[in-house]
Amino acid sequence: MKQLSGHVALVTGAASGIGAAIVRRFQDEGARVAGMDVSSGFASDLNLSADLRSTEALENALKQMVSSIGAPTILVHAAAASFPGGVLDTHPSTFLDLYDVNVVGAARLLQLCAPQMTERGGSVVVLSSINAGFATPSLAAYAATKAALNNLVQTAALELAPRNIRINAIAPASIDTPALRASFARSGDAEDARVRNIGRHPLGRLGTAEEVADLALFLASDRAQWITGSVYAIDGGAGVTRR
């Protein structure tokens, strides 16, 4: 039997990269998947358009999901906003905007989806980052939001446990996605940036979105029924050395 047979999943950030890989992996394992993004043209059982900054937009999207494919038993928050810059050269409004998408967006989703999961229980997987645990001058606002997200996951794990809802986070290092390749291009020498980035990972390569999707599948599935409140690194060893 497929691992997610009978499950209904909501995946944010579904249009590309890790989110798109998770949609495909969950579908392959038997789940009905509603993908959510602000972009269009992606493939899921139900494509939803909503801005994570808007509670009203999320409420409307969830109503559409429930009426079309059912209430979620799995939630994956893979969407994220990012901005290059340090603490002193990132405008305060950018800090607030990234926090609204990455952290408050997760809280909005939990507040809307948890009541839908209460009868059966459920699993939540949040995409964090290895940068949550390190000084990251080039991505100060992004890293700060991911550190906050890790704490949110741990707190929510305690609050949701009596409802039989588990929540865990995945903290990737550099994953070969369109967003990462775009960041290499902005450096002026994309190939040099790629080589230097790979050098920070002891296993000698970038990760793939499919590898992250495999971990998300495990955490979302019934195989992880006794796991909650944890943050799992998937980083090619980068967290060991941070070179």
> Does residue 142 contact residue 88 with C-beta atoms inside 8 Å?
no
* CA separation for the pair 12, 156 (Å, rounded): 18
pTM for this structure? 0.94
Residue 2 lies in a domain: no
Query: Which stretch of DSSP H or E encloses residue 232?
Result: strand 231-234
In Å, how far are 1, 60, 76, 213 from 23, measured between CA atoms?
19, 21, 9, 8
User: DSSP for 153-184?
Assistant: HHHHHHHHGGGTEEEEEEEES-B-SHHHHHHH
- Shared domain check, 144 and 98: yes
Residue 57, pLDDT score? 97
pLDDT of residue 243: 61
Please say if 142 is a catalytic residue: yes
User: pLDDT (tens digit, 9 = 90+) per residue, 96-127?
Assistant: 999 999 999 999 999 999 999 977 889 999 99
**CB of 102 closer than 8 Å to CB of 94:** no
Q: What is the CATH number of the domain that holds 28?
A: 3.40.50.720
Q: Each residue of 216-227: pLDDT tens digit?
A: 999 999 999 999
| Residue of 142, 152, 172, 206 with catalytic role | 142
* 1 falls within a domain: no
CA distances (Å), origin 194, targets 76, 189, 237: 28, 9, 17
Whether residues 190 and 140 share a domain: the answer is: no
Q: Are residues 74 and 191 in the same domain?
A: no
pLDDT averaged over every residue in the chain: 95
The whole-number pLDDT of residue 228 equals 98
Long-range Cβ contacts of 157-161 (<8 Å, 24+ apart) = 157/228, 157/229, 158/229, 160/110, 160/114, 160/124, 160/228, 161/228
Residue 243 inside a domain? The answer is no
